Every structure is written in structure tokens, then in C-alpha cells.
Structure 1
Amino acid sequence: MRALRIGLILLVILGGLAFAADRVAVGMAEGEIASKVRSSQGLDSEPSVSIKGFPFLTQLVGKKLDRVDLEMDTYTVQVDDQTGTVDDLVIRLDDVKLENNYERAVAARASGGGVISYAEMARLTGDGDSTFGVSFGYAGEGQIEVRVTVMGRAVGPTMIGDLDVDGDLVSVSIDDIPSFSDIPVIGSIPGIEDQIRQRVDQDRQISGLPSGVELEGLKATEDGVTLSVAGTDVQLTGAASE
């Protein structure tokens, strides 16, 4: 009985050591991946990396990780010729193969997304004129609320816009822009309705997403416009194979 008890204690100790070794190894691997992703994607800082699945060492021996999650608090994209910011970008990578002595990692599938805030949308829509602008907000049911602003203050009627996406081109389309002729100050601006449509209702190209993923869709939420991205055979780290 004493021998059995000692044996069980040893098994528990060995199991604890194995678990600890596995967690240390996964932590080191996450740090290494974060560093390589920063380099390969040209990021300003390292993303947060989380390797899922247990045990990690078994996955490492098999040269295939079940799932790797990347998270970036902010990510820079290009919107036409302007620099835009995507907040809380999260990308899930599934079935990640490790190649070239673990120097290269390629995910079979990728999915995820981030948010462009309504304040950021307003900034990107502006043309440097601090007097006249456009603000955005959530109108419910996946639609955008659009308001004209004068000196940062919303004036006139609320307009409702729909989000459209075609490849890497996105737009907020407004069916009808009401008359602003009776609105003080703004109504005296020649062609104000055409100016509103020009600022809002036009295609804008989003580029500079992480290598291997493409824009799949847009959805208006209370926090902003959510971008959905996806890709296949996404190279996470390392140089392309010969």
C-alpha cells in the first residue's frame, strides 16, 4: 500500500512537471511567433499570440498547430490615399503547418476581423475643412446614421446609409439626401446635397490588410463598422518555400 501511494505521488509530480514544461514551451513559442509576425508583416509592435490546444509539445513534434490566435489593439490600413486605423483586430489561424525546421508557418485557413470606429470614419471622410463635415453613428439593424456637422456640431435631418462591399471597395450608400435649404448656415452652401453625397456615397478602397487575408464583409455595430476578413494558405512567418 505504501509503495502504491509513493507511486501515485511520483505520477502526480511527473505530470505536474510535464504540464509545466509544456506551458513554458508554448510561452516561448508564442513569443517567437509574435516576433516573426511583427517582422514579416512590418508591424510597429508585436501582436498578442495565443497557441491553442494541449499538449503543445505533441503538436510541435507533429509540426502542426491546431489553432493560433493573433490579436492587435490597433492595425494600420490604407483607405484610398489615407492612413486608417482598425481597432481590436483578431485573426484566427487554423491548421498551421510548421516547415523548414519551424522557420516557416502556413495556416490552412484564417478568419477574423476588427472595427473602424465612427469617429475614424468621419476623419477619413473629411477633407481638412473644419467648418463642414459629416458624422456617423449606429442606426440599428446593420445601418449607418449619417449627420452633417458644422464646427463639429450635428445639424439638419438624420440620414440612413447602407454598407456595401465589393472586393476591397467599400461605401456607405444613401438612397435619398433631404433638402438642407432651410437649415441655417449649411443651407446657404451651394450644392450642399451634392457635396454630402460626394463625401459619403462613393467607393473607397481598403488595402494593407495582413498578408494572405482579404476583406469579406462589413457590418454596422454600436462600436463602429466591423470588418470581416478571411483567407486560405496564409503564410504566418518565414520566407516563401522554393
Structure 2
Amino acid sequence: MRRFQPGHADHDHEHGYEHDDERGRHDQPRYEPRRGRRRPAALVGAALVALALLPVAVDRAVAARIESRTAKAFQEGMDTPLPPEVQVRGFPVVTQAASGTLRHVDITAHDIPARGADRPLPVSELSLRLDGLTKADDDSEARARSAEATAFLSYEDVSNALGLEIAQGGRPGQVRAAVPMPFGEEAGVTTTVSAVSGNRIAFRDFTVDGGALPAAGGAILDKVFERPIQLRNIPDGLRLRSVTTTADGLDAHFSGRSVTFRPENAATDDARES
């Protein structure tokens, strides 16, 4: 019979004995994560992502090239100082280009001149939304199946065209003109703006604020307002539908079908007007 002796456990430890549970823990092999196996998986994932993004990058490159060429052609045709902003919408663009028709194109141009007119009225900004845009094989023209556009005409340019200082009127669709009078005085005149055929803006039904004009003043206004202002350098096929007044100028709204862009737009307008 074995008697319990104090320090027996310590004695066993000194002689190299351990309990079974402790020995088992030390005898169990240690498993380290194999990090080397994760790297191929990460590389494959990165490759798949790159392959997925490649068509997008190619499509964006094709779109950028089309946008640049369209901007250059529009600048040459409209004679703007800077290329317009062009955005080809819809994905993929590659298939649109291959078919020869771009579904939707947005163009925003600035400072379109109006040359060759006795009362030139430049277009400060022209915003176009084109649907079904195609181009000729020789790049001589581009044609949109349909289009909508808004041309902004500043009051400063309208004033220069009319020879009177023009500002926004008190009611929608009205503008106010300051008419110089003898002895340095001015008379205020309110007139209504409207769209008429031939892409022209008419000024009608003017009234004098606070009294009547002298006969000479009335004759001047009749001469100024009797003939509508022709909007020039507008792409063929766009028709002026309405004109609205804003705090800074006039918004002329256009729409049309089979809208054509070509370098001789300005010359065509001048010849038609003459």
C-alpha cells in the first residue's frame, strides 16, 4: 500500500513525469495556416475583376473618342471659340458605334456667334439632346432622328441686337425696354416676346409705363419692334417652339426631326435670310 507523501507531485515533476492530459497537449501537432494557398486565390480574384472591368474600360475609351470627334466637328460647324461638352449616353457604346447609330447624345455649346446679320443675336449657351445620331460616311454631316434644344440669349445680347436696354418684365413672357427721351430722360416700355416661324423672336403689343410717348418715340419703337429677330447658326431641322423670360435672359426652346449638323449651316442660314 502506497502512502501519500507530501511533495509527491513535485517529485514526479523533478523526475520528468507529467500528467496524461498535459502530456497529451504537448504531443498534439500544431497546425499553422498555410498562407501560401491564399495568394493564388487572391490573384485569380484580381484577374477576374480585371477581366470584368476590361469591357467597361474599352467602352469608355471608345465613347471618349467619339465625344472628342463630335465636339471637334460641332465646333467647326458652329464656329464656337471652344469645343462643346459632349456626352454619349447608354451602355455599351461599342455596339452603338458598330451599328452606326448613337442612341442618345447630349451636347452643350457656348458662345455661338451670329455672323452676317444686320441685328446679330449670339447664342450664349445651346443645350442639345439628340436621339438616333448618325453620320455620313465622309464625315460631311451628322443627322439626329429627333432632337430637343434650349438656347439661352442674354439680355445684354438682346439689348445690343435691338438697340435698347432690355430687362425682365413684370409678368411671364414680358420684357421691359428703356427708351431714351429728350433732355436725358427715359421711358419704360413693356413688350411681349413670342416665337414665330422661321426661328424668329417677335416683340409685340408694347405699352408705355406711366404715360404716352411723343410721336417720335412711338415711331422709333415701331421700327425697333416691327421686325422679329432671326436666330442664326441653329442646326437645320430645329424649329423654335416657345420663348420664356428669365432673370438673366431669354430661353428659346426648339425641337425637330431629322436634325442636321454640317459646316455650312451658317452659310445656309445667311443665304436663306437674304
TM-score, normalized by length of structure 2?
0.69
> What is the CA distance between 1:202 and its match in structure 2?
3.6
Partner of 1:63: 100
State the alpha-carbon separation in 2 of the partners of residues 236 and 76 from structure 1. 16
Q: Counterparts of 1:94 and 1:180 in 2: how far apart (Å)?
A: 51
Residue 139 of structure 1 aligns to a residue whose secondary structure is: coil
Instruction: Encode CA deviations 1:110-168: one digit per residue, 9 max, x unaligned.
Output: 11111111121111112xxxxxx4433242322212222469x8833x43221122212
Selected match of 2:232 from 179, 184, 207: 207
Q: What residue ranges of structure 1 are gaps of 5+ in the alignment?
A: 127-132, 182-186
Task: Choose which of 180, 201, 220 in structure 2 pairs with 1:170.
Answer: 201
Distance 1:53 1:101, change over 3 A: farther
Gaps of 5+ in 2: 1-36, 265-274
More helix by share: 2
Task: State which drifts further: 86-95 or 164-173.
Answer: 164-173
Alignment correspondent of 1:26: 63
Paired residues in the alignment total: 225
The match for 1:139 among 161, 166, 170 is 170
Separation (CA, whole Å) in 1 of partners of 2:165 and 2:141:
45
Q: Indicate whether 1:217 and 2:248 are aligned.
A: no
Q: Aligned to 2:114, what secondary structure does the other structure show?
A: strand
Q: Which moved more, 1:86-95 or 1:33-42?
A: 33-42
Tell me if structure 2 keeps the 8 A contact 1:134–1:149.
no
Alignment of 1:108-147 (within 5 A): 108-126=145-163, 133-147=164-178
Cα offset for 1:177? Answer: 3.2
Other-structure match for 2:255: 230
Distance 2:43 2:107 in 1: 43
SS at match of 1:222: coil
Range with greater deviation from structure 2 (66-75 or 228-237)? 228-237
After TM superposition, the score normalised by the length of structure 1 is 0.76
Shift of 1:101: 8.3
- Classify the secondary structure of the residue corresponding to 2:97: helix
What is the CA-CA distance between 1:24 and the residue it aligns to? 1.6
Q: Are 2:133 and 1:96 aligned?
A: yes
Shift of 1:108: 0.2
1:80-99 superposed Cα distances (whole Å, 9 cap, x missing partner):
52322111111111111355
CA-based RMSD of the aligned residues comes to: 3.2
Q: CA deviation at 1:102?
A: 7.5
Does structure 2 conserve the Cα–Cα contact (< 8 Å) formed by 1:121 and 1:136? Answer: no
Amino acid at match of 2:73: K
Partners of 1:58 and 1:237 lie apart in 2 by 25
Alignment identity in percent? 20
Give the AA of the match of 1:155. Answer: E
> 2:84 corresponds to which residue?
47
User: Quick one: structure 1 residues 88 and 43, their matched pair in 2 at CA, closer, same or farther if it must change by over 3 Å?
Assistant: closer
Deviates more, 1:82-91 or 1:1-10: 1-10
- List per-residue Cα deviations over 1:167-206 (Å, max 9, x = no partner): 123221134335767xxxxx7x762222233223543333
1:7, CA displacement in angstroms?
4.8
CA 1:210/1:15 → structure 2, altered by over 3 Å: closer, same or farther?
Answer: same
**Inter-partner Cα distance in structure 2 for 1:80 and 1:236:** 20
- Answer yes or no: is the 8 Å Cα contact 2:237–2:258 preserved in 1: yes
